Amino acid sequence: MHDHNSDAMNAQERRAAGGLSSVFAFRMLGMFMVLPVLVTYGQDLSGATPFLLGLAIGAYGLTQAALQIPFGMLSDRFGRLPIIYLGLLIFAAGSVVAGMSDSVWGVIAGRVLQGAGAISAAVMALLSDLTREQNRTKAMAMIGISIGISFAVAMVVGPLVTRGFGLSGLFWFTAAMAILGIFIIAFVVPKPTVQLQNREAGVAPSAFAGILRNGALLRLDLGIFVLHALLMASFIALPLALVEQGGLPKEEHWWVYLVALFVGFFAMLPFIIYAEKKRKMKRVFLGAISVLLFSELFFWWFGHGLILLVIGTIVFFTAFNLLEATLPSLISKIAPAGAKGTAMGVYSTSQFLGAALGGMLGGWLFSVGGAPVVFASCAALAALWLVFAANMQEPPYVTSMRLPVSPVALQETQWLTALSSQAGVMEAVLVAEEAAVYVKFDTQIIDRAAIEGYL
């Protein structure tokens, strides 16, 4: 670690951020490559029904939701690396089980096992051990970007790999990705010398009660729950609609997702910049939910020809990408100082529960009335979300950071009162056992250097 105040990432931080981003991305690839193909190719599995294929799509969400926070806590106790290795091995094992299976139940079992390798919290904690405070947000952002890219790549590569090697080939490919992740952790990512207790990245059990009582955060947790339920349910109806209504063979679906994600990505960027720069987050957020609702209605009413289905898919992904990017940003603005990691833990759990429910619900609705019933129900769910989100407050436009506190400053805490009353500082929380202070501040009013001055 060189000069504490230099804002450029050093070599170790770049290796840590790059290596862990790619581990995250490979694992997400394995989760999401199944999404565009399981319903169309899975019909050849013995015992396959729309409901069971929906269960197979969403099954990973159940174990992921249940184990994600416990795994993070285990990594605090037993160290990050053993937990990450264990998680990647479980994920690889799940991929192998699904790859060797020719029945739908075997694929469901494999997906449940894949989800049990819930390493996100441990990876985030390792990242904060390996980066300095001033570069942590950049490193976290790199992981966020890698997840977004891996989702886009998965939607295009999933159909291409399955076209070449079948559904079992797809699962063997994801197993190989997990093993590659293990090699990256072993040989690329630096080994941590210290293990930080960082409440920005990890879960603090003492913060749970406050997070679960915070109405603004619960509204966002509901949002990500609905967003991923809509994603999973829509992907039971959409691939089948492309085949049946659009006349597009399943081998050709990759280009629809490529076009939709590419256009959707560039269409969303101006809105993200507008939301942050002009501080119009609420307007953009509610607009995106409305567009998502519109895309489901569009599928329901007009999903009859290939061109219309492609247009609907572009609109869907523009709104989806925008919401996927804004929700975590809203969480970090609203979460109390020193509770961001806990808030993100609850948020991720909601996301995986939404995926699990969406898969099952979508499969069941499809067996009841085909694609139109799925799209109509998704539209109803999006409308419900819009109603819940409508009375949200404009979020505070703040950045949060954790600063180490010297032993002297721990004794003499009058600086904390002075810091808290400073213009632009929303909140400053001293956590004595970590010898750290968590500060939320508005960068347009006060900068990092001024805050460090108080220490």
Is 288 part of any domain? yes
102 with 125, same domain: the answer is yes
112 with 127, same domain: the answer is yes
pLDDT value at 2 more than 70: no
Is 2 part of any domain? no
The answer to whether 31 and 60 are in contact (CB under 8 A) is yes
| Confidence grade of residue 9 (pLDDT, cut at 50, 70, 90) | confident
Domain limit, last residue, from 163, 192, 221: 192
Identify the weakest region by mean pLDDT among 202-206, 241-245, 341-345: 202-206
Over the chain, what HEC string results? Answer: CCCCCCCCCCHHHHHHHHHHHHHHHHHHHHHHCCCCCHHHHHHHCECCCHHHHHHHHHHHHHHHHHHHHHHHHHHHHHCHHHHHHHHHHHHHHHHHHHHHCCEHHHHHHHHHHHHHCCCHHHHHHHHHHHCCHHHHHHHHHHHHHHHHHHHHHHHHHHHHHHHHHHHHHHHHHHHHHHHHHHHHHHHCCCCCCCCCCCCCCCCCHHHHHHHHCCHHHHHHHHHHHHHHHHHHHHHHHHHHHHHHCCCCCHHHCHHHHHHHHHHHHHHHHHHHHHHHHCCCHHHHHHHHHHHHHHHHHHHHHHCCCHHHHHHHHHHHHHHHHHHHHHHHHHHHHHCCCCCHHHHHHHHHHHHHHHHHHHHHHHHHHHHHHHHHHHHHHHHHHHHHHHHHHHCCCCCCCCEEEEEECCHHHHHCCHHHHHHHCCCCEEEEEEEHHHCEEEEEECCCCCCHHHHHHHC
216 with 309, same domain: the answer is yes
pLDDT value at 1 more than 50: no
Extract the tokens encoding 263.
């256009």
Q: For position 14, what pLDDT does the model report?
A: 93
355 with 432, same domain: the answer is no
Residue 446 maps to which CATH number?
3.30.70.100
pLDDT value at 3 more than 60: no
pLDDT value at 200 more than 90: no
Q: Phi first, then psi: what are they for 148, rounded to 5°?
A: -60, -45
236 with 296, same domain: the answer is yes
Q: For position 204, what pLDDT does the model report?
A: 80
321 with 422, same domain: the answer is no
Q: For position 38, what pLDDT does the model report?
A: 95
pLDDT, tens digit, 9 for 90 and up, residues 248-286: 999 999 999 999 999 988 898 899 888 888 888 899 999
Identify the weakest region by mean pLDDT among 22-26, 134-138, 316-320: 134-138
pLDDT value at 201 more than 80: no
pLDDT, tens digit, 9 for 90 and up, residues 365-422: 999 999 999 999 999 999 999 999 999 888 888 888 888 888 888 888 788 888 888 8
Is 201 part of any domain? no
338 with 228, same domain: the answer is yes
Q: Using the structure block, give the residue that is written with the tokens 């999903």.
A: 303
Taking the C-alpha atoms of residue 303 and residue 408, their distance in angstroms, rounded to an integer, is 67
Q: Tell me what percent of the residues of the chain surpass a pLDDT of 70.
A: 99
152 with 294, same domain: the answer is no
Q: For position 96, what pLDDT does the model report?
A: 97
Residue 321 maps to which CATH number?
1.20.1250.20
Q: Using the structure block, give the residue that is written with the tokens 């529960």.
A: 353
Domain limit, last residue, from 192, 226, 252: 192
Q: For position 313, what pLDDT does the model report?
A: 95
66 with 140, same domain: the answer is yes
Closest CA to 291 of 349, 227, 367, 355: 227
Q: Phi first, then psi: what are they for 437, rounded to 5°?
A: -120, 135
Hey, CA dihedral for 22, 27, 30, 33, is it positive or negative?
negative
Beta bridge partners of 437: 403, 430
Q: For position 277, what pLDDT does the model report?
A: 87
Is 197 part of any domain? no
164 with 219, same domain: the answer is no
278 with 389, same domain: the answer is yes
pLDDT top residue among 289 and 202: 289
238 with 159, same domain: the answer is no
Range of the domain at 408: 399-454
Taking the C-alpha atoms of residue 355 and residue 276, their distance in angstroms, rounded to an integer, is 28
Is 227 part of any domain? yes
Q: For position 408, what pLDDT does the model report?
A: 83
Q: For position 402, what pLDDT does the model report?
A: 85
- How many structural domains does the chain have? 3
pLDDT value at 246 more than 70: yes
Q: Using the structure block, give the residue that is written with the tokens 């063979």.
A: 249
Is 3 part of any domain? no
Task: Give the residue-averaged pLDDT of 43-63.
Answer: 95
Taking the C-alpha atoms of residue 255 and residue 252, their distance in angstroms, rounded to an integer, is 7
Closest CA to 101 of 1, 12, 170: 170
Average model confidence (pLDDT) for the chain?
A: 90
Is 100 part of any domain? yes
Extract the tokens encoding 49.
């029904």
pLDDT top residue among 94 and 330: 94
Is 170 part of any domain? yes
Task: Give the residue-averaged pLDDT of 179-200.
Answer: 88
